A and B are shown apart, each in its own frame.
Chain A
Amino acid sequence: NAGVTQTPKFQVLKTGQSMTLQCAQDMNHEYMSWYRQDPGMGLRLIHYSVGAGITDQGEVPNGYNVSRSTTEDFPLRLLSAAPSQTSVYFCASSYSWGSYEQYFGPGTRLTVT
């Protein structure tokens, strides 16, 4: 199994540009989530999904959209990038909503200028 994969690994955007961060898992996990990690702060939940077709907001959802059309994929979309979205983004998955052990991807480092 590849586990949780994320692309791209690095990305630079200009303010106002849009892009999609890709996340995929091959473990047939129901639960997937997106976090951002900023210096001096713990991981913060952006959006999560408890299964295909179901998504919900986390702690810091503004400026981000998600969809979950398949069990495997959970892309994160930035519609109009802002410098405040400069961060490292991690995707994670776990077997189910009640399963605490999450598997994290390698991260995407995003810089918005």
Chain B
Amino acid sequence: GESVGLHLPTLSVQEGDNSIINCAYSNSASDYFIWYKQESGKGPQFIIDIRSNMDKRQGQRVTVLLNKTVKHLSLQIAATQPGDSAVYFCAEPTPNTGNQFYFGTGTSLTVIP
């Protein structure tokens, strides 16, 4: 079946630096992707999404880049803060299933003060 994976299981960055979290997907027909943030002991929280007709989408301090040629997503967090410490994972819809998604396993981001 299709799968969504993340390149690195852990990432440590210094407070104030930029963070980049990567995600690979395998279904070239996927037309929508979501990034979630999950803090320890909490449920996943929607951060930002992007449709396949876009290469880049910006939110508040976050940018998602989509490279359809190599089936790769990245989440960039600007000026990383201690409150950004969490697990981040991407998700893509499973084909013809409405709201069902494949979820990546996540990258754990630690921000060093």
Binding partners A and B? yes
Q: Which of B34, B89, B105 contacts A100 (CB 8 A)?
A: B34
- Shortest C-beta distance, A14 to chain B (Å), equals 24
Interface residues on B, range: 20 to 34
Do A48 and B99 contact each other (CB < 8 Å), given the known contacts A41-B105, A42-B104, A100-B34?
Answer: yes
A→B interface (CB under 8 Å)? 4, 31, 33, 40-45, 48, 50, 58-59, 90, 92, 94, 97-107
Interface string of B63-98 (1 = CB under 8 A from A): 000000000000000000000000001010100001
Q: Which of B45, B49, B99, B102 contacts A104 (CB 8 A)?
A: B45
Residues of chain B contacted by A97 (CB below 8 angstroms): 98-99
Do A99 and B99 contact each other (CB < 8 Å), given the known contacts A42-B89, A106-B43?
Answer: yes
Give 3 nearest A-B pairs by CB, closest first. Answer: A104-B43, A42-B103, A43-B103
Q: Are B99 and A98 in contact (CB under 8 A)?
A: yes
Interface of A is mostly: loop
Interface of B is mostly: strand
Q: Are B105 and A40 in contact (CB under 8 A)?
A: yes
Q: How many A-B residue pairs have CB under 8 A?
A: 56
Residues of chain B contacted by A102 (CB below 8 angstroms): 46, 99
Give the interface centre of A50, A97, A100, A107 by most chain B CB atoms within 10 Å. Answer: A100
B→A interface (CB under 8 Å)? 4, 32, 34, 41-46, 49, 89, 91, 93, 98-106
- Shortest C-beta distance, A107 to chain B (Å), equals 5
Residue of A at shortest CB range from B45? A104
- Shortest C-beta distance, A31 to chain B (Å), equals 5
